[in-house]
Structure 1
Amino acid sequence: MVSTEVTHKVQLVDGVFTPSEASDVINSLIREKVNFHKLHRLSICEGDMHSDTNFDDSRVSQLLQEKENFKPIYKEAMLGGKRVKISGVLNIEIID
């Protein structure tokens, strides 16, 4: 897979949030990606129940684990009366 330079960047999220707001942002993003992979898995299996869905299965598991990994950060910020900075950029490039 040959990649060209980044052709577009999307500043998806960039801000400082209360712990509750940060939790909403993180959980919403993860929920959308989990739903994407579940729908993709379903579309692959639609014609063939024996299709390889390992990638989507793995990504769903990874994303759900990331959701769990955020919980201690959320709790620490809540208990400490802190805020949470979140920055996320999508780098979009055309590949071969």
Structure 2
Amino acid sequence: MEIKEMTATEISLANVDLIKGQFTPAEAIDIISALIDQKVNFHEVRKFQRWELDHDCGTEDLDRRISELKQEKVKTKEFLSKFLNSNKTITINGVLDVTVSDNS
């Protein structure tokens, strides 16, 4: 993880190498699917927590994001499935850029 200080409004920036390597197409599908599933689960939990606090709350933003993620999972799986019976190597470099900002 690389961390560096930024301006007063951007307190710090961290780069996290979440995924870095070469994988078979099947492994790549598994890795990406697992990451997307975790993110969908995160939004589902947030949606439920919001609903618990207010049964009349709107969850359209979370529903939209969940739908987007599920569509991305399908598209990624369709793309990588083309290479399942090949000798292809899939390189994944998944870096998270994290910035902490002042909300004032």
TM-score by length of 1: 0.88
Gaps of 5+ in 2: 1-8
The corresponding residue for 2:21 is 15
1:26-37 residue pairs with structure 2 within 5 A? 26-37=32-43
1:68 matched to 2:74? The reply is yes
Query: Aligned residues: percent identity?
Result: 35
CA distance in 2, matches of 1:87, 1:58: 26
The corresponding residue for 1:4 is 10
Conserved in 2, the CA contact under 8 Å of 1:13 and 1:86?
A: yes
Superposed CA RMSD:
1.5
| Structure 2 SS opposite 1:66 | helix
TM-score by length of 2: 0.82
Gaps of 5+ in 1: none
Name whichever structure is richer in helix by fraction.
1
